[in-house]
Amino acid sequence: MDRLPAGAVGRSQVRQTPRIGVTLDYFPEGYGGFSPVAWQALRVNYFTALYTVGLLPVAIPLLPQQAVGAMIDELDALVISGGDFDIPPRYYGKEEEPGLGRVAEPRTVWEWGLLHEALGRDLPILGICGGMQLLNVACGGTLIQDLPTVGNMGHQQQNPRCEPHHAMRWREDSPWSGEVWQVNSTHHQAVDEVGPGLQVWGSAEDGIVEAIAALDGDLLGVQWHPEYLFEAGIEGGVLAFWADRVRKSLG
């Protein structure tokens, strides 16, 4: 049987529910936890939240780079998840600075390929926490490598992640024009220079970028973890908004 053209299934009306690829966190051999060899995992609340807003989330394992195109062929949109890792600074033209955490080179290489393939095909993309940071870098932006090193201690909460930690304000040109939301916060890096083509949609009171977007929200990054707040019933509507953008992208 001949192979279908790229996107022939994924971007058609064949599926009633959009199929959303969700990347997994990566833990190298010797990290511990689930297995002594390299392993991948992601919290259930990512998948439950995306399914509840009308999407069909599927886990994307780390594969060789030559699998990127075939993987994107099967998807209608892409979610780059967060995780316990930092992006190597060379991806945004910087040297390593004090405070840089664990890098996950295999994960970053894989997600970098997925992101650029998805961008090239105009697929909707949602970046969550570290996923927002990678989206910004993929679009030409840079990162603050360690907030505590530059004197900002307010973005790593100790209370449960299903509880808010600080306020953020949506910009007037965002769908939530001027609204103030309470969000959780579990990151030590942040967006510095915003990538060309992206807009800042929201910021914390201390100026840290909390949301970036392009194409009316088809490309969307949030620095907090909406899946935890969704689980607690206080998410606000970001996931439902992006799910609607995905459906509109399919025509």
**Residues recognised as catalytic:** 129, 225, 227
Give the integer Cα–Cα distance in Å for 198 and 221.
10
Contact 142, 193 (CB under 8 A): yes
| Residue 95 DSSP SS3 | coil
Give the integer Cα–Cα distance in Å for 193 and 110.
23
The DSSP line for 99-136 is T---B-HHHHHHHHHHHHHHHHTT--EEEETHHHHHHH
Give the integer Cα–Cα distance in Å for 152 and 58.
36
Handedness of CA 163, 168, 173, 177 (dihedral sign): positive
Q: For the CA atoms of 103, 105, 108, 113, what is the dihedral angle to 10 degrees? A: 170
| Residue 178 DSSP SS3 | coil
Contact 56, 18 (CB under 8 A): yes
**Structural tokens at position 66:** 């030559």
Q: How far apart are the first and last CA of the chain?
A: 28
| Residue 166 DSSP SS3 | strand
Give the integer Cα–Cα distance in Å for 50 and 200.
23
